[in-house]
Structure 1
Amino acid sequence: MVERASHAETVGVIGLGAMGLGTATALLEAGLAVIGCDISDVAREAFESRGGTSVDTPAELARRCSVVLVIVVNAEQVESVLFGETGVVNRLASGSVVMQCATVAPSYAKALGERLDAVGLLMLDAPISGGAVKARQGRLSVMASGREAAYAKAKPVLDAMAETVYRLGGFPGAGSSVKLVNQLLAGVHIAAAAEAMALGIRMGIDPDTLFDVITHSAGNSWMFENRVPHILKGDYTPLSTVDIFVKDLNIVHQAGRELAFCMPVASSALQQFTAASGAGFGREDDSAVVKVYQRLSGITLPAANDAEGGT
């Protein structure tokens, strides 16, 4: 039988990708004791180079932590780090908090809260938004729901990682519901921005000029302004990948099926991201959805060497 930890005041961060590494660093710089965990040697070394401590299994982290942030890709990974052979659930002290920050189905988040409650653990359903830059600055938006005791215990962590904490309800599920609305809009806006730029290029408009006009006009959006520069630079280094939006928009549609609620605009965006993934761009930045239009219409997209002033 696995023994639980008896006491710990350290924060654990499981998942040291772009968002997790930035968040763990922000917590560390706020004066909190932080242990990071990732299966990647490179990710752990990156955190250690910033002064952090890291381990390669959730089990090691759990024995030393009373608040654990799970910043992984999907529900399957959440299941693994919580309930897998080296998972944290049976090793955390009673009353510890699990902050579930991944984008998952609201129904899954609700059920997860009930499972953790049954073994004496608190849960904050706490999806995050803001990107890698704001994660590093400790300026994320957190869409949180959970019991008051979970908010109270996680307060120092929330204060250090977030610019805004939206308290959306007393039980897990509400936070993930709001995050799903955000992801629907984000995916649609990226797909629309790519289509708009592709149309402009097809009509012979200079893409830099088009970007300047749209960002000063009513058709602008945060995603247009943030993602189109990747297209202009011909730089598809992944910050958030095409496959992330294939996953997230599929979760949107899962929720829609559960509610018998149709979402034709989100469905169209999902098809574009799926097409980009199928064409081999799944691991590229999500702005690479524009390459679908390059394949379909033969437009010439800005190249990286053009952005650098090459020939």
Structure 2
Amino acid sequence: MAGSTSKIAVIGLGSMGLGMARSLLRAGHEVSGYDVTAVAIAALAEAGGRAGTSPADAAADAQIVAVVVVNAAQTEAVLFAADGIVPAMAPGGVVISCATMAPAAAKALGARCAEQGVLYLDAPMSGGAVRAGSGELTFMASGTDEAFAAARPALDAMAGKVYELGDEAGIGASFKIVNQLLAGVHIAAACEAITFASKLGLDIAKVYEVITASAGNSWMFENRVPHILDGDYAPKSAVNIFTKDLGIVSDIGRAETFPLPIAASALQMFLMTAAAGMGRDDDSSPARLIAQITGIDLPPAKTA
């Protein structure tokens, strides 16, 4: 099927899902989509996709459906609710499940799809909105050979790299949760470091320049600190994403009697930021929390 036109639906048209839909359209696929917000649906229509009136309507006769929602509960609802996608899909179709969730939840969803004759690819992704829009995401995927084959036309359009990590759902989710442990810790560390630099009286723009050319740099430092320098806390990825994802990490650690002290500290930083009213703001907002607590000055936050 690679290189041919497929009928593909994208459910969840946030910054990631909309970018993925645009990449699919650019590759020549017939794309429909659904989101709970009218603005997102309008953006898909403007890009050339078909705006569905419900998940089921968007997925009607689709060969592939990418589910790009926040968590396992939303994924379950999109798949199996009264207006869900599973009964509406084309026979033999495949669900590409992209939400970060606990491995056990991915396994359970995969089993339910199999019971109803639908293939399921456990395929959380990484790369951010820019790479979603350019078709260069990294997918950490697991599922049957049949699921990979059925999903290939969409993956070819959306991904720069697809890791095929195993033959059953839950493995991809496990890889993604390790990634999110590191991502959350690195963001928290970046926020702590740049505010510490401000406390020392340093020019934080110059700190950014120096650190990004030094051994202390990380992808998250390089990507998120510009949000702080610009005072731009419009959510590219929200604080609440990391209260969820690091919460999953914490739950798994507790269940496995495995200590995760650094991840736990990062989780507390995101929880404090959410409790201070910034849960829906950009995940670089822990820097603002630290600034408020310590009385340091950061570039003023832009207002909408």
TM-score category, normalised to shorter length:
over 0.9
| 1:78 alignment counterpart | 75
TM-score, with normalisation over the residues of structure 2? 0.96
Post-superposition Cα deviations, 1:103-141, rounded to whole Å, max 9, x if no partner, equal 011110011111111111110000011000000000000
| 2:180 alignment counterpart | 183
| 1:131 alignment counterpart | 128
| 1:277 alignment counterpart | 274
Which shifted more, 295-304 or 129-138? 295-304
| Cα distance in 1 between the residues matched to 2:203 and 2:59 | 54
For residue 47 of structure 2, give the secondary structure of its aligned residue in structure 1: coil
Overall identity of the aligned pairs, in %: 53
Q: Does 1:268 align with 2:265?
A: yes
The residue type equivalent to 1:217 in the other structure is S
Q: Is the 8 A contact 2:52 2:58 kept in 1?
A: yes
| 2:231 alignment counterpart | 234
Q: Is the 8 A contact 1:106 1:255 kept in 2?
A: no
| 1:252 alignment counterpart | 249
For residue 285 of structure 1, give the secondary structure of its aligned residue in structure 2: coil
Match of 1:157 among 154, 157, 174: 154
| Cα distance in 2 between the residues matched to 1:34 and 1:138 | 15
| Cα distance in 2 between the residues matched to 1:56 and 1:267 | 41
The residue type equivalent to 2:131 in the other structure is K
Post-superposition Cα deviations, 1:242-270, rounded to whole Å, max 9, x if no partner, equal 11111111111122223221211000000
Q: Does 1:114 align with 2:111?
A: yes
Post-superposition Cα deviations, 1:149-184, rounded to whole Å, max 9, x if no partner, equal 011111111100000000000000010000001111
The residue type equivalent to 2:289 in the other structure is V
Match of 1:209 among 206, 209, 223: 206
| 1:172 alignment counterpart | 169
In the TM superposition, residue 40 of structure 1 has moved relative to its aligned partner by 1.1
| Cα distance in 2 between the residues matched to 1:91 and 1:42 | 24
In the TM superposition, residue 296 of structure 1 has moved relative to its aligned partner by 1.6
In the TM superposition, residue 304 of structure 1 has moved relative to its aligned partner by 4.9
In the TM superposition, residue 91 of structure 1 has moved relative to its aligned partner by 2.6
| 2:300 alignment counterpart | 303
| Cα distance in 2 between the residues matched to 1:90 and 1:64 | 9
| 1:289 alignment counterpart | 286
| 2:85 alignment counterpart | 88
Match of 1:193 among 190, 193, 197: 190
Equivalences, count = 298
TM-score, with normalisation over the residues of structure 1? 0.93
Structure 2 unaligned spans of 5+:
none
For residue 217 of structure 1, give the secondary structure of its aligned residue in structure 2: coil
| Cα distance in 2 between the residues matched to 1:132 and 1:206 | 29
Structure 1 unaligned spans of 5+:
1-7, 306-311
In the TM superposition, residue 186 of structure 1 has moved relative to its aligned partner by 0.4
The residue type equivalent to 2:152 in the other structure is K
Post-superposition Cα deviations, 1:181-205, rounded to whole Å, max 9, x if no partner, equal 1111000000000000111101111
Q: Does 1:102 align with 2:99?
A: yes
The residue type equivalent to 1:146 in the other structure is G
Q: Does 1:32 align with 2:37?
A: no
| Cα distance in 2 between the residues matched to 1:247 and 1:110 | 19
Q: Is the 8 A contact 1:37 1:56 kept in 2?
A: yes
| Cα distance in 2 between the residues matched to 1:186 and 1:49 | 33
For residue 65 of structure 2, give the secondary structure of its aligned residue in structure 1: strand
The residue type equivalent to 1:227 in the other structure is R
| Cα distance in 2 between the residues matched to 1:273 and 1:189 | 12
Q: Is the 8 A contact 2:197 2:207 kept in 1?
A: yes
For residue 68 of structure 1, give the secondary structure of its aligned residue in structure 2: strand
| Cα distance in 1 between the residues matched to 2:36 and 2:177 | 27
For residue 31 of structure 1, give the secondary structure of its aligned residue in structure 2: coil
RMSD: 1.2
Post-superposition Cα deviations, 1:183-236, rounded to whole Å, max 9, x if no partner, equal 110000000000001111011111111111111111000000000011011111
